[in-house]
Structure 1
Amino acid sequence: MRESIEVVIIGSGPAGLTLANLLQRAGVGCVVLERQSRTYVEQRQRAGVLEHDGARLFEEWGLGESVLAGTTAGGMLEIRLDGQPRFFDVAALAGGRAGRIVPQQVLVGRLIEAFLAGGGDLRFEAAEVTPHGLDGSAPTVTYRDTAGVVHEIACAYVAGCDGFHGVSRASVPEGALTTYTYEHGYGWLTVLADAPAPYHPLFGIHPAGFAAQFARGPGASRFYLECAPGADVGEWGDERIWEQLRLRLGDAGLPTGPITEKLFVEMRCFVADPMRYGRLFLVGDAAHIITPMGGKGMNLAIADAGVLARGLRAALREGDERPLAAYSETCLKRVWDHQEFSRWMGEMMHEAGNATLAGPFRRQLARARLERLFSSDAAARAFADLMA
C-alpha cells in the first residue's frame, strides 16, 4: 500500500508526540509510526519533571491547557546529607522559573489525545519500520501493519524519535556520524513502587551510596539506588531495597508499598554529531543519552522537537531551509550544556557520600562543592539556572 505525507515520525515517546502535535498546529502533514501498542506507550513510566522551557513551549504552541492542566509547579529540592535535610529553592533562585510535575505517562497520554483530537494519524503496532533513501530527495518509510499489509510512505523528511535502540540511527551509514560516549563508573537500580510520593524531589547522600525518591503520581514513587556497574537486579530483593532506602534517605519510617518494577540503569552518556543524515533528523534519545541526574532526558527530547518543528515549518511552509540546516548545531549546544551539568551534579551527589567511589580526597572536594550551594548566592544561582 503506497501513501505519501510530508513528514514521517518514527516513535511515539515524548519527542515524537511533541513533534507531531507541533507540526499539526503548523499545518504540516505527518504520520507517527510506533512499534508498541497504545496501552504499552501510555503506561511506560520514565521521567516526571517538565522544565520551565518545556512548559513554555507547549503554551506557545497552544497546548498549555490540554497538556499542562492540573499539573503542579515544582521548584524545591530536598537534599539530605547523612540524613540531615536541606532545602534548595530552584524557582526562587532562578528568577521564578519553576518546572512542572508531570509524570511521563500522563504527558504522553495527553499528547496522544491532543493529536488524535486534531485528526492526527498515529499508527501503533507498526512492525518492521524501515527508512529508505535518506540521502536522496525523496525518502520512503516502509512498515507492516497488524494485518500483515506492507505500507510504503513517501515523504519529504523523516524524524527519528525512536530512542537509543531504535531503527532510525541504525539506518545511518557507518562513519556518517561522530559519536561520543562516557561511562560514569557506577549504576543505578531504579525502583517503581506504589508508595506515597515525597513532597519535593529528594536526594540522599550517604556513605552507603546515593539514593533518591521522586513523585510518579500521588500514590507512586520512583526510587534510585547507587550500585556497582553491571549489578544483578536479582540480588536486590524487596527487603534489601527498603533497608537501603531507609538508610541512605535517612528515614527509618519511610513508607513502603508494593514494588512494581525494578530495572538496572547503566549510567552512561552518548552524543551523536550531527543529529542529521540527509533527510533524517534524530530527535531525543535517538541522538543523545544522558543520565537521569538532573532530569534532563525528556526535556532535551522535547526541546529537540521544538527546534525541529520550527525548522520543518520554515522549510515546508515558508521555503526557508536555514533553520532546518541549523537544527543539529542548535540542539547540540543545549545537549552539551546539559551533559556537563548532569556530570557535574552526578559527581557531587555520589562522591560527597561514597568515599570508596573516588577516594577520600575527592569526597571532601564534592562536599565542599555541595556546601557552596548553601553558602554562596552566586553558586546557588548558577546551579538553579541550569537545574531550571
Structure 2
Amino acid sequence: MRTQVAIIGAGPSGLLLSHLLAADGVESVVLETRSEEYVAGRIRAGILEQSTVDLLREVGLGERLDREGDPHRGIYLQWPDERHHLDFVDLTGRSVYVYGQTEVQKDLVAASHARGQEVHYEITDTALHDLETDRPSVTFTDRDGVEQRLQADVVVGCDGSFGPSREAVPQAVRRTWEKTYPYSWLGILADVAPSTDELIYAWHPDGFAMHSMRSASVSRLYLQVPNETSIDDWSDDRIWEALATRLGHGQDGWQLTPGPVTDKSVLPMRSFVQQPMRHGRLFLAGDAAHIVPPTGAKGLNLAVADVALLAPALVGLLRKDDHGLADAYSDTALRRVWRCTHFSWWMTTMLHTSGDPFDEQLQLSQLRWVTSSEAGATGLAENYAGLPIGF
C-alpha cells in the first residue's frame, strides 16, 4: 500500500486532517484500531471555540453545526450565594458553540464517505518504521487478519495518549511534562432539558460542579470527586442531590431539574505535554502530544488547531517542496498548547477545592476579581472563546 500521508487515528483530528489535505489535493490513508461505530459514539467534549467553528464553516463542515449547534455568549461563575454571568461577546466579540464531539465526528465521517476517503478500522499491531528517512511506513494487521504495510511520505499520529505514535519519538529526543490532579470528574448524561441557558461553573466547599448541555433535551453535568472513586458508589439519587447542593438549587429561585441518567463515568484529571511534536517524518497532533483537564474546554479545540496548522505545512512540504511551515510546526503549535495548558490549569485550580482553608480563600478572592474586574473577565473570555489558530 502507498499514500502520501499515513494518518493514525480516525477521531476528529485524524479525519479533519484528511479532509483538509484532500481539499488541497494531498492523498491520505487513515488507520484506526477501533470500529467506526465506537469512535463515533465516544462521549467527549461539547464546546467549540469561535476559531474552530470558523474553520469548520470555511471547509464545508458547518451546515449541520449552524442548524443544530447552540451558540452561547458566555458562562456563569458561581459560589455559594453568588452567580455572575461573563458575556464573551461583549468582552471580546467572540462566542462559543455547544456542539458535541460526537456531532463533529458524524459530520467528519459523512464527509469522509462522500469523498471516498480510505479508512481502515479495527486494525491491530500498529507499528511505525523508518521515521528518520523520506520513506516512512506503518505496519498493521487488518480486520481480516492480513498483515499490511502502508508506505508514505509522512506519518501523522492522531492516535491519542495510548497510541503508538507518541512512543515512536525516541526517548533521547522527547521531553515530557505531566501533572496529575488530586481529583476526578464524575460525569453524567441525562435525558432532561438543561436547567440553565448557559454553562454554570460552580465553586462549592463540597467540591466543584458544572452544568453543561448537549442539546435542548440532553444535559451534561459533572461533580468533583476523589481519585479512585467507584461509579458504583454513586447512585443516581446521590448524584442529583450533590449537584443540587453544589449548583445552588433554590438560590434566587433557581431550580435544578433531574432526569433519567443515560451515561455515567469517572474522568481523571491531568495535564501532559510532549515536545517536539515532530520527529523526522512523524508529526503529532491532538492528544498524542498533549492533554488538558476539561475545565477550560480546550482538548478538542487544541486538536483542531494542531491540524489546521499541520495541513498547510504538509501541503507545502509534499506539493511544493517547501519545508518552512513543516519545520516550524512543532514550535508554532506548542505556543498555543502551552497557553491553553496554562488556562486549563488556572480554571481547574480556581474552581476545585483541596480541603485547605487558605486555598479556599484564595480561590474565592480570585473568583471575585474575575467577576468584578473587566480586565480579569476579558482575560478569561479571551482564552475560553479561543485565541486565533495561528497564535
What CA distance in whole angstroms lies between the structure 2 residues aligned with 1:306 and 1:185?
Answer: 33
Equivalent residue, structure 2, for 1:133: 130
Query: Match for 1:30 among 7, 18, 28?
Result: 28
Cα displacement (A) at 1:358: 5.2
Equivalent residue, structure 1, for 2:63: 65
- Find the residue that maps to 1:28 and give its secondary structure: coil
Equivalent residue, structure 1, for 2:311: 309
- Find the residue that maps to 1:346 and give its secondary structure: helix
- Find the residue that maps to 2:257 and give its secondary structure: coil
Query: Match for 2:383 among 380, 383, 386?
Result: 386
**What amino acid maps onto 1:239 in structure 2?**
D
1:16 and 2:18 matched:
no
Equivalent residue, structure 1, for 2:45: 47
Q: Is the 8 A contact 1:196 1:219 kept in 2?
A: yes
- Find the residue that maps to 1:27 and give its secondary structure: coil
Cα displacement (A) at 1:176: 2.2
What CA distance in whole angstroms lies between the structure 1 residues aligned with 2:81 and 2:219?
Answer: 19
Query: Match for 2:102 among 91, 102, 105?
Result: 105
Q: Is the 8 A contact 1:83 1:249 kept in 2?
A: no
Q: How does 1:1-388 map to 2 (within 5 A)?
A: 3-65=1-63, 68-94=66-92, 96-197=93-194, 198-251=196-249, 253-350=255-352, 354=353, 357=354, 359-388=356-385
Gap change, CA 1:361 and 1:19, over 3 Å in 2:
same
What CA distance in whole angstroms lies between the structure 2 residues aligned with 1:117 and 1:68?
Answer: 20
Equivalent residue, structure 1, for 2:389: none
- Find the residue that maps to 1:36 and give its secondary structure: coil
Deviates more, 1:24-33 or 1:129-138: 129-138
- Find the residue that maps to 1:327 and give its secondary structure: helix
Q: Is the 8 A contact 2:223 2:243 kept in 1?
A: yes
> Between the two proteins, what is the percent identity of the paired residues?
39
Gap change, CA 1:324 and 1:70, over 3 Å in 2:
same
- Find the residue that maps to 2:337 and give its secondary structure: helix
* Structure 1, unaligned runs of 5 or more: none
What CA distance in whole angstroms lies between the structure 2 residues aligned with 1:155 and 1:196?
Answer: 48
What CA distance in whole angstroms lies between the structure 2 residues aligned with 1:144 and 1:136?
Answer: 23
Q: Is the 8 A contact 2:169 2:279 kept in 1?
A: yes
**What amino acid maps onto 1:370 in structure 2?**
L
Gap change, CA 1:219 and 1:83, over 3 Å in 2:
farther
Cα displacement (A) at 1:17: 1.3
What CA distance in whole angstroms lies between the structure 2 residues aligned with 1:322 and 1:126?
Answer: 34
Cα displacement (A) at 1:147: 1.7
In the TM superposition, what whole-angstrom CA distance separates every residue of 1:254-274 from its partner, at most 9, and x where no partner exists? Answer: 222232322222211100010
RMSD: 1.6
**What amino acid maps onto 2:249 in structure 1?**
D
